[in-house]
Amino acid sequence: MARILIIEKKSSISMILQKIFDNVGHEVYSVKSCTEAVKFSATLDIDVVILNSSKESNSEKVAFGLLKKNYQGKHFIGLMEEELCFSMDVEIINGFDQKYFRPLKWENIIDDISKVKTSAVNAIRRNIMVVDDNENIHEDFKKILCNYLDFNKKVDALSNGLFDITEDSEQIGQSFDYHVISAYSGEEAIGIIKNHIEIGCPIDVIFMDIRMAPGMDGIDACCQIREIYPDADLIFCSAYSDYPKQGILNKVGNKNPVYFLPKPFETNSVHKILSQILCEEDVQIA
């Protein structure tokens, strides 16, 4: 499964592409311009970018340059209408390896994407937001979560060898590919969440620090997050015990579960609480 971002101003074309890719199991998001896509590129993990190759304004060329930087090394596909070539200026395209940027005809797109190697073909991707004013906490979460899939692959490979399990055998349990999104204040977190909701790629789980300076604290931030995204799974992560849990629940609301992870935390504690939340969701969806 690939995570695909479509940049196309014609809704009719983007809807056709989205339906095609949905039917073959890809995860698809759509925006109307490179300028709009830049807003999400810092936090949205993408394998393939498909964009219309028609002539664009100077502002769009600048935005495309930013996308090139943010998605360096990713697979870019330029849509062509019949035999039209990609019209972006040469200096904008310069620096792309041609294998990552190939204008294609319609009939070639599906085949081309099928060859893209994603980071997690058999894993369910989950967007995890960490909101903390301490850079070290962000680094800790990235070490714990971003190495999780590689560790699982090694364990699966070892198990397959020991128990003679083939790739086609039914697997027990579910692997998750965690994409960690960082915010350093409640205000920044709310802005990122709004952007992700706008393109249909919501944050799955939010680890929220309680004490952050300056600006709003984590409790007030979660109250606002619940207003714009009631289904958010919230995990309060704090080293302080001066915030009674019941008081937090009364303020944030307990219609949906709220979780607590004390600092300092261990790797197993993070995986355990995420598995508890995400596996329950998958059972409910099924």
- Whether 82 has a pLDDT exceeding 70, the answer reads no
* CATH architecture of the region 3-114: 3-Layer(aba) Sandwich (3.40)
Instruction: Determine the pLDDT at residue 115.
Output: 62
pLDDT tens digits, 202-242: 889 999 999 888 889 999 999 999 999 988 899 999 887 67
Least confident among 147-151, 154-158, 252-256: 154-158
State the sign of the Cα–Cα–Cα–Cα dihedral 102, 105, 110, 112: negative
Structural tokens at position 112: 């081309």
Strands (E), the chain: 3-7, 27-31, 48-52, 75-79, 101-104, 124-131, 176-183, 205-208, 233-238, 258-262
Kindly state the percentage of the chain with pLDDT values over 90.
18
| Domain spanning 124-285, CATH class | alpha beta
Q: 3-state DSSP call for residue 284?
A: helix
Whole-angstrom Cα distance, residue 104 to residue 271?
A: 41
pLDDT tens digits, 14-45: 887 777 777 767 788 888 888 888 877 777 77
Instruction: Determine the pLDDT at residue 173.
Output: 42
Tell me the pTM.
0.61
pLDDT tens digits, 37-78: 887 777 777 888 887 755 567 777 778 778 877 777 677 777
Q: What angle do CA 258, 261, 263 make, to 5 degrees?
A: 150
- For residue 108, report the phi and psi dihedrals to the nearest 5 degrees: -90, -15
CATH 3.40.50.2300 maps onto the chain at 3-114, 124-285
Higher pLDDT, 133 or 83: 133
